[in-house]
């Protein structure tokens, strides 16, 4: 990361809100089946300049993306500790669904990793990271489908 994290850019994200962000993270696996974030987590990141740079590094853009594990997504290693505290995290249910309540209005990134191994549990992990930028309004319910 080359940009410094400025906490005042995303101070709005720490306030209580009235919106809900819900959705599902899934990668088609063929035959009508899909792999999901079940057992993993979804993250909600305030979309300030720092997070936008991070999304450009990982996904090549800051709007929507899929970074397959096979292409070795580049995750920044020098993430500011103050930024980490702005990220909201929630577990994905068995169907790969997630829900964030009490979200303040603003621009956010929804992010999740969907990873799996073959049926024997051996071999190289498959899947990747999914991201979508959303705009959330007061009292709104945003529904997001993270998929390649």
pLDDT in tens, 16-58: 999 999 999 999 987 778 999 999 999 999 999 999 999 999 9
Q: How far apart are CA 74 and CA 127, in angstroms?
A: 15
Cα 87 to Cα 27, 42, 81: the distances in Å are 23, 10, 11
**Burial annotation 63-81 (CB, 10 A radius, 16+ → b, else e):** ebbbbebeeebeeeeeebe
Q: What is the reported pLDDT for 77?
A: 84
Q: How far apart are CA 106 and CA 104, in angstroms?
A: 6
pLDDT single digits (tens) 82-139: 999 999 999 999 999 999 999 999 999 999 999 987 666 677 788 999 999 999 999 9
pTM: 0.92
């Amino acid at each position: 990361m080359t940009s410094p994290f400025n906490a005042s850019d995303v101070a709005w994200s720490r306030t209580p809100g009235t919106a809900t962000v819900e959705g599902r993270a899934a990668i088609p696996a063929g035959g009508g089946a899909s792999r999901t974030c079940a057992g993993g987590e979804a993250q909600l990141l305030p979309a300030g300049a720092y997070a936008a740079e991070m999304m450009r590094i990982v996904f090549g853009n800051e709007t929507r993306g899929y970074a397959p594990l096979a292409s070795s997504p580049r995750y920044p290693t020098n993430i500011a500790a103050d930024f980490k505290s702005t990220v909201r995290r929630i577990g994905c249910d068995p169907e790969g669904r997630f829900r964030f309540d009490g979200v303040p209005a603003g621009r956010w990134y929804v992010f999740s990793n969907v990873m799996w191994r073959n049926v024997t549990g051996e071999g190289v992990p498959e899947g990747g990271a999914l991201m979508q930028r959303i705009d959330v309004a007061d009292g709104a319910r945003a529904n997001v489908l993270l998929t390649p």
